[in-house]
């Protein structure tokens, strides 16, 4: 069974930089997994931040960037703001139409 791993929680100071990661329990994440990142605030629907490794969704500030770092996908927020405080989920495409979400990272900005 494929497990997608994310840090359960992370904290960043306002104006700081934070990198969230998305890995696989077995193997490395590559661009072939089309790693994508979604932001979700309490009671709200998810919002697409990054898709296909490093493409920002429409309207997403350029302080958000995506990449592959080592064997994981990464979401970096440079110059974090208070309204970046949310849950962040990554999802990987596993082929044959199947996707697997990570468990999510709760980001605190304080």
**Residue numbers of the site for another protein (CB under 8 A)?**
34, 36, 38, 40, 45-48, 51-52, 57, 87, 89, 91, 93, 96-104
Q: CB–CB of 29/73 below 8 Å?
A: yes
CB nearer to another protein: give 15 or 103.
Answer: 103
Least separation in angstroms between CB 18 and another protein: 19
Least separation in angstroms between CB 87 and another protein: 8
Q: CB–CB of 52/31 below 8 Å?
A: yes
Q: What are the Cα distances from residue 54, in Å, to 14, 65, 72?
A: 23, 6, 13
């Amino acid at each position: 069974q494929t497990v997608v791993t994310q840090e359960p929680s992370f904290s960043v100071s306002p104006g700081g930089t934070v990198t969230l990661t998305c890995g696989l329990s077995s193997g490395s994440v590559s661009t072939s997994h089309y790693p994508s990142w979604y932001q979700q605030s309490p009671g709200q629907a998810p919002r697409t931040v990054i898709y296909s490794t490093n493409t920002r969704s429409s309207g997403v500030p350029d302080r958000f960037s995506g990449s592959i770092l080592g064997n994981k996908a990464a979401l970096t927020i440079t110059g974090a703001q208070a309204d970046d405080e949310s849950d962040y989920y990554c999802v990987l495409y596993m082929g044959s139409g199947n996707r697997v979400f990570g468990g999510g990272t709760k980001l605190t900005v304080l």
